[in-house]
Amino acid sequence: IAFVSNRTGRKEIYFSDTDGKNIFQLTNSKRLNLSPCWLTGNMLYYTGYDQGNPDLYLIDLSGKKSLISSNPGLNITPAVGPGGKKIALAMETPGNNLDIYVMNPDGTKPQRVTSHPGADLEPTWSPDGYHIAFVSDRTGTPQFYWIDLSKGSEENKNYPLRLTYQGSYNTSPAWSPDGRYIAYARRIDNQFDLFLI
């Protein structure tokens, strides 16, 4: 399990066995580190502020890392597609809002998927790799949407479909392995509960 902890006073990336034992600190940048996401059993992506900008890095379990995406602004919430052939992330480009992009695992050939004044982030891949669900505040509160990648980008009039209409705050989507459900957290009043859609 990869996770973020502030046990050193800074948010660093750690990993452990699934039972929580054998905890190992992976980053030691003494800066903010977020959103770990496994690529393989010994490599993971994360967002780090090593150079002052929230950039996307790939790091192996020995601590060797490489810079994947360093566009000015946010490069956050990475998600690895089926088979590790593509990654999706929320990325900010000059003059644009936070949108979903898809790129090769090494950061090459970024393609913009969404294009809306609202903030789009937290992508999650369908098991077949043809759809991405994501969180967007384009209607005022964080709700879930999904887009069919085979039909092109939002810029080409492939508009995402809204999935959730309840709850004041919906976050952390995760597609089930069989593709039938998306698990997510929904805030109702002051409490977050787990839901399936």
pLDDT in tens, 151-161: 999 999 999 99
Q: For the chain, what is the total number of helices (H) and then of strands (E)?
A: 0, 18
Tokens of 134: 């994501």
Instruction: Please tell me the predicted confidence (pLDDT) of residue 139.
Output: 92
Contact 101, 111 (CB under 8 A): yes
Instruction: Please tell me the predicted confidence (pLDDT) of residue 186.
Output: 96
Amino acid at 137: D
Alpha carbon distance 141, 139 (integer Å): 6
Mean pLDDT of the chain: 95
Tokens of 16: 């452990």
Tokens of 97: 């809002």
Mean pLDDT across the stretch 58-79?
95
Residue with tokens 């020995």, as numbered in its chain: 62
- Write phi, then psi, for 78 (nearest 5 degrees): -70, 150
Model confidence, pTM? 0.94
Indicate the DSSP class of residue 31.
S
The order of strands in the sheet holding 169-175 is 169-175, 182-188, 191-196
Does the pLDDT of residue 16 top 90, yes or no?
Answer: yes
Alpha carbon distance 174, 145 (integer Å): 13
Does the pLDDT of residue 184 top 80, yes or no?
Answer: yes
pLDDT band of residue 95 (cuts 50, 70, 90) is: low
Mean pLDDT across the stretch 62-86?
95
Residues 6+ apart with CB under 8 A from 153: 111, 112, 113, 114, 115
- Write phi, then psi, for 61 (nearest 5 degrees): -70, -10
Mean pLDDT across the stretch 117-122?
94
